[in-house]
Structure 1
């Protein structure tokens, strides 16, 4: 039998101190708009920056359970959840479970239901412990109640009714919406470049207005500025396969009006150029300007087939440089957006854990699991 969090606190085996502040804190996190602003403020000042991990003995337990699950079910790098009820005399493992996005069911929903049924079906000892593992940290925003909030309330219920303590471990910080977070989706290279050229937000806004760039708010400006301190990147890590050829599709566009035979020659040459240009994808980290210079040098030095006229060669050199510039700047902006999202998600999870830890430390521990190097290779 399940109960409301308030009823569990008032009528269970265990009682929670400062219940008003706890429910107030949980309600605040249920207000996504308010919580996002709160996280952004912390992100600006780089607060809540360190990973929060469970204590060593709990981390070791998760590693052991993970090894057993992996041996039985195989390694998995996509979102899934499993759980363990640790009794004095036996270990009950269940999962892994996977989300059903068509129905809106998350893997944590199944874990909660299964755990509830198992606890209800037996005479529970206060020595029992519940371990919940989820690849991504439980979400803090969805169309219905968020998984993280559901788990915290359930952990309170299981402690209040059964005296059971819960441990929640995850590998990656999902934040509110994970990779679907759209706070930074409109950040362009022009905005990033303008941030890089500006001393502070005030001068940035003035510069943005002159160039008709939609200015970023001060918090996002500060976050971008922080990322630009380590502005180099390895292009080879973010440009692969068909994505590479697609970056140079305009190179083929300059042959459209040519006669068929000449068009075929030019098309073959363009494909050869695109293939040869992969040498520009350095594995070492470089700045945008360094990549642009390499692209310019490649285009100017490339020896085209003598079958191509000088005019076509010149157009191909210019078009290649234009495509290369668009690709480098676009991928750099994409990298900045992804890094901002990653930092935001990490800050979100860490801040949430810190906010509720003072109320839940008796019955709940949440943290990022630190696997050994060998185990880390399995889950990547």
Structure 2
């Protein structure tokens, strides 16, 4: 039996981010008196990821499994530094219970956030969680932004559309909101040739804006992206590039910690791990659909699938999810989707076999006749959703009603009609299987984003909101 998941379990550079969390999370943010005192004691301009010291509310810095994250020499250095830092610049002064409480919550949320980030960075485990959620038939509920934030996005979106025009493909723009002015920048588009996503440009531009001026505490960042930021990034493994969703969360945490800026991220479509490039359901072809439909349960489905040559049985979880989709109301689907105008001519290549052996002008004339028939059949490839039976009937009716020229003999006409119906049937069946895969992928992507945001936003409510926009 085949494996249910086919994800790369390679960890990203988020382990380095965890190191930074551990090193910095003990330093309370600079909006409190304690945090300002601690912050003042650090020479931020001379530190980097490897040398940032750690301060906590007490002398003990590392406990439990956390000690395994850093080499022993670095742990000793950090512990020694924290003991010295508490003696520095009057930091040995009394710390109020309120400051201790804030620092404890900050550290707890930070550790909790990174625990979720580590889990979702392992796509083997996180994809399994999403599939089990779908198998349980639990409701898929989109995470929405608050009404006030949604109204802000609607206003910004209207202004951006009036300025740059409407756009359905992936793009991103952002707004830096200050009490006295609003800075809008974008839209930016991905450049997949060099591996750059639109969110990469947003992060870079926002970072430059925040670092180029003295930022008061009441600034806000609004990031719009047509698709929800990716959770898996297909790049060269030698390039240190994180998925956009994780990068944005990291930056939102950093902008809050350094500048006191709150971040809001709004999206229109759920992209999940890798959007329409998702391959979990790639083996569901029409023969699989027939077996799933005929199988009463997984055991009977497996017996049917084993009898078909070159058909790999699905895992039980994917079977259950697909069975649930196919068990719902009768499926109506379009032969041509609005966002994917595919050329279906390749399905009719075998029709040319009808006049093999023909020579010269006769073959040229029959080729022209075939092209005319195929071009006329393109009118059947509409975006109107219909059942598979209705699509097949339309193809049969077209072939019988099509008028051939007088130079095509009756026998050849009949053969071309039969071959057309065979090609049309194959195309309809493939389109139906594609429709089922698209529906499964859409449910999977929505569920992925829903579960991810549920896990993460428990720890980021103070400085970050992420949600779907209803524009």
**TM-based fold match above 0.5:** yes
The separation in 2 between residues aligned to 1:356 and 1:309, in whole angstroms, is 69
CA distance in 1, matches of 2:342, 2:303: 40
Structure 1: unaligned runs, 5 residues or longer = 372-380
Instruction: Kindly indicate whether residue 446 of structure 2 is the aligned counterpart of residue 346 of structure 1.
Output: yes
TM-superposed CA distance for 1:370, in Å, is: 1.0
Q: CA deviation at 1:278?
A: 4.2
Give the aligned partner of residue 191 of structure 1: 288
User: 2:466 aligned with 1:366, yes or no?
Assistant: yes
The 8 Å contact of residues 238 and 331 in structure 1, kept in 2 or not, is answered as no
Match of 2:57 in 1: none
Match of 2:391 in 1: 291
Alpha carbons of structure 1 residues 88 and 226: separation in structure 2 relative to 1, 3 Å: same
More displaced 10-residue stretch of structure 1: 228-237 or 238-247: 238-247
Q: Which of 100, 103, 114 is the equivalent residue of 2:191? A: 100
The 5 Å alignment of 1:79-94 reads: 79-94=170-185
Q: Which stretch of structure 1 is more off in the superposition, 131-140 or 46-55?
A: 46-55
* 1:1-380 aligned within 5 A: 4-11=20-27, 12-13=29-30, 15=103, 16=106, 17-47=108-138, 49-142=140-233, 143=235, 144-212=241-309, 213-228=311-326, 229=328, 230-237=330-337, 243-278=343-378, 280-281=380-381, 284-300=384-400, 302=402, 304-371=404-471
Contact 1:54/1:365 (<8 A) preserved: yes
**Equivalents in 2 of 1:352, 1:233: separation in Å?**
30
Which structure is larger by alpha-carbon Rg, 1 or 2?
2
Distance in 2, Cα, partners of 1:295 & 1:113: 53
Q: Residues 69 and 8 from structure 1, CA distance in 2 versus in 1: closer, same or farther, beyond 3 angstroms?
A: farther
Counterpart CA distance in 1 for 2:323 and 2:127 is: 20
Query: For 1:95-131, what per-residue CA distance to the aligned partner results, in whole angstroms no more than 9, with x for missing partners?
Result: 2222232332222122222222222222222221111
In structure 2, the CA distance between the partners of 1:242 and 1:334, relative to structure 1 (3 Å rule), is closer
Q: Work out whether residues 5 and 157 of structure 1, in 8 Å CA contact, stay in contact via their aligned partners in 2.
A: no
What is the deviation of 1:156? 1.4
Over 3 Å counting, the alpha-carbon distance change for 1:370 and 1:5 in structure 2 is farther
Give the superposed CA RMSD.
2.5
| Structure 1 contact 8–156 (Cα < 8 Å) conserved | no
Determine the C-alpha separation between the residues in 1 that align with 2:339 and 2:252: 43
Distance 1:122 1:78, change over 3 A: same
- Count of aligned positions: 370
**Mapped contact 2:109–2:460 kept (Cα < 8 A):** no
- TM-score, normalising length from structure 2? 0.73
Matched with 2:47 is none
Contact 2:21-2:110 within 8 A present in 1 as well:
no
Offset of residue 306 of structure 1: 4.4
| Pairwise CA distance, 1:244 | 3.6
1:118–1:238 CA distance, 2 compared to 1 (3 A): closer
Q: Distance in 1 between matches of 2:294 and 2:353?
A: 34
Greater mean deviation of Cα atoms: 341-350 or 5-14: 5-14
Q: CA deviation at 1:313?
A: 2.2
Distance 1:296 1:96 in 2: 47
SS in 2 for 1:182: coil
Q: Which residue of 2 aligns with 1:378?
A: none
Which sections of structure 2, spanning at least 5 residues, go unmatched?
A: 1-16, 32-102, 236-240
Name the SS for the 2:457 alignment partner.
Answer: helix
Q: Secondary structure at the match of 2:465?
A: strand
- Tell me the residue number matched to 1:376: none
How far 1:70 moved relative to its partner?
2.3
Q: The residue matched to 1:286 in structure 2 has which SS?
A: coil
SS of alignment partner, residue 267 of structure 1: helix
Distance in 2 (CA, whole Å) between partners of 1:170 and 1:126 is 25
